[in-house]
Structures are given as structure tokens and as C-alpha cells.
Structure 1
Amino acid sequence: MGFEEELFHELATSTWDKRSRMQQEMVKGAKGEPFAVQELYRKGPLTPSQLAASMKTTTGRVSALLSALEKKGQITRESDPDDRRVVHVDLTEAGRERAEKQRDDMRDAVCWIFSQMGERRAREFVELSKEFTTYMTLCMPGKPRPTPEEVAKAFSENTQEVA
């Protein structure tokens, strides 16, 4: 077994098999209200179909989710004046406050973790995570591996995004 197989096993057991409580909350949040609130906060008004596509779920699931958020006073739904069939969903002030609190809570937790790791290791971790994520966007299970040209292009695009 090469180092790649050994590290895959270690990564799978330490990260994917034994999810931390924070990871569990993030995954749970990616399927429901927290994700929807963050998506609307970052992108502004969206249609239910756009939200469903972002969440990789059905419009029926999003409809139920939006009903719950509307009852809590965190979103509004308004018909498009140019096309009454189109509905735009947006955050209310209460929804924006929720989104900001969620972001602040996550930032505080991650900053605490970084403080425990120390600056050098935290910076190294972030750089390696960016590199790993770039490779993950290129390499899908069961698909052909990317060419060196595709890899170079992805990394040059990531460098341009940061600049």
C-alpha cells in the first residue's frame, strides 16, 4: 500500500467516518433552514427553483422550508411585477439577523480552532485545504482523471480569484 492509500484510509476514518459535532451541524444545516438563510444572505433574492438547485433538493422540499421560514418572519415571497408566475424570495430583517448570527457563530468557532493550531499550522492548513478542494473539483469518482492542462487551468483560475 502506497502513502496515497494509507492517507486515504486515515482521512476517511478521521474525517468522514467520525464526523465532529461541528461537521454534523454543518451537514444538517446544509439541508435546511440554515443553508437557505445563508444562500439568500449571500446572493440576495432568489426564486424557489434557484434555491432548490443550490440545495440540490426538490422544489417541494424548498416550498415546505420556505413556509417554515415565512411563519418565523425570516423571509418574504413576492411576485415578479413583470411575470406574476415568478416568485422572489428574500430575507426580512429577522432573516438577515439570523444569517449574521450563524456566520458569527461559525467564524468564532473556526477562529478558536485556528488559535489552538497556531498561526503557522493554521495558514498551512488553509493553503492545503484550498489545494485539496481544487483537486476535488476536478476529480470525480468513476470519471477520467483530469489532464495536466486541466489541472494547470484550475490552479491558475484559483490564483486569479484570490488576486
Structure 2
Amino acid sequence: MGFEQEAVSELYASVWGNRSTMQREFTRGAHGEQFVLRELSMKGTQTPSQLASALQASSGRISTVLSSLEKKGWVTRDIDSKDRRIIRVNLTDSGREQSHRMIEEMRSAICWIFSQMGERRTREFVDLVSEFT
């Protein structure tokens, strides 16, 4: 096995293989409420289909997430005034605050990881990620 395969195996085991805290956070953020809140916070009003497309999720999954967010008072679903077939999803003030809290929690977690890595290794990591994105 080449170094590439070994590196992939090590990365998989470290991040995803043992259900680490990092993996749980990435999964939670990428497949649910946190993603929708972040998307609405960054882009403003969206339709459920726009959110589904951005998340690469089914309309049923988005509907479930939106129902949960609506019950928590973090989003509203409103009928478009010009086309009653269209639903517009908006953040409430409470949802905006929650989105900011989640972003700060993630930022804090990443900063902690970087503090453990040190400045040199962090800069190398950021450079590598930038090179391939």
C-alpha cells in the first residue's frame, strides 16, 4: 500500500472510524439543523428546495429539519405573497442568535485543534487545504 492509501486509512480511523467527537460534530453540522441555520444566516431567505439542493438532501429530510427548527422558534415558513405555491424559509431573531452561537462553538473547537497543532503545522494544514480547494 502506498503512502496515499495509508494516509487515507489513518485519517479515516482518526476522524470517522471511532465515532470521534469531531466526526459527530461534522455529521451533525452537515446533515441537519446547523447546516440549515448557517445557510439561512449566510444567504438569507431560501425555499425548501434551495436548502435541499445546497445540502444535497431529499425534500423529506429538509421538511423534517425545518419542522424541528420551526418548533424551536428558530425559523418561519411563509407563503410567498406573489406566488402562493412557494414557501419562503426565514430565520427568526432567535434562530439568528442560535446560528451565531453554533458558528462560534465550531470556531472555538477549530481554534483549540490549531492551538494543539502549533502555528507551523496549522499554516501547513491551511496551505494544503487551500491548494486543493
TM-score interval w.r.t. the shorter chain? 0.7 to 0.9
1:105 Cα deviation after fit: 0.7
1:152 corresponds in structure 2 to none
2:11, 2:48 → 1: CA distance?
36
TM-score when scaled to structure 1?
0.73
2:29 corresponds in structure 1 to 29
1:3, 1:64 → 2: CA distance?
42
- Aligned CA RMSD, in angstroms, stands at 1.7
Contact 2:14 2:20 in 1 (8 A): no
Instruction: Report the CA distance shift for 1:48/1:10 in structure 2 as closer, same or farther (over 3 A).
Output: same
2:45, 2:89 → 1: CA distance?
5
Instruction: Report the CA distance shift for 1:88/1:129 in structure 2 as closer, same or farther (over 3 A).
Output: same
Counting only pairs closer than 5 Å after superposition, residues 1-40 of structure 1 correspond to structure 2 as 1-40=1-40
1:9, 1:71 → 2: CA distance?
41
How many positions carry a matched residue from both structures? 133
Counting only pairs closer than 5 Å after superposition, residues 58-137 of structure 1 correspond to structure 2 as 58-132=58-132, 134=133
Higher relative contact order (CA 8 A, sep 6+): 2
1:100, 1:111 → 2: CA distance?
16
SS in 2 for 1:121: helix
1:13, 1:59 → 2: CA distance?
32
- Identity %, equivalent residues: 55
Q: Max radius of gyration: which structure?
A: 1
Instruction: Report the CA distance shift for 1:86/1:127 in structure 2 as closer, same or farther (over 3 A).
Output: same
Instruction: Report the CA distance shift for 1:86/1:24 in structure 2 as closer, same or farther (over 3 A).
Output: same
Specify the code of the residue in structure 2 equivalent to 1:24. R
TM-score when scaled to structure 2?
0.88
1:15 Cα deviation after fit: 3.3
Structure 1: which 5+ runs fail to align?
135-163
1:64, 1:12 → 2: CA distance?
29
1:153 corresponds in structure 2 to none
Instruction: Report the CA distance shift for 1:131/1:15 in structure 2 as closer, same or farther (over 3 A).
Output: farther
1:4 Cα deviation after fit: 2.8
CA displacement, residues 44-98 of structure 1 (integer Å, 9 cap, x when unaligned): 1100111111222221221222122112111111222221111110100000000
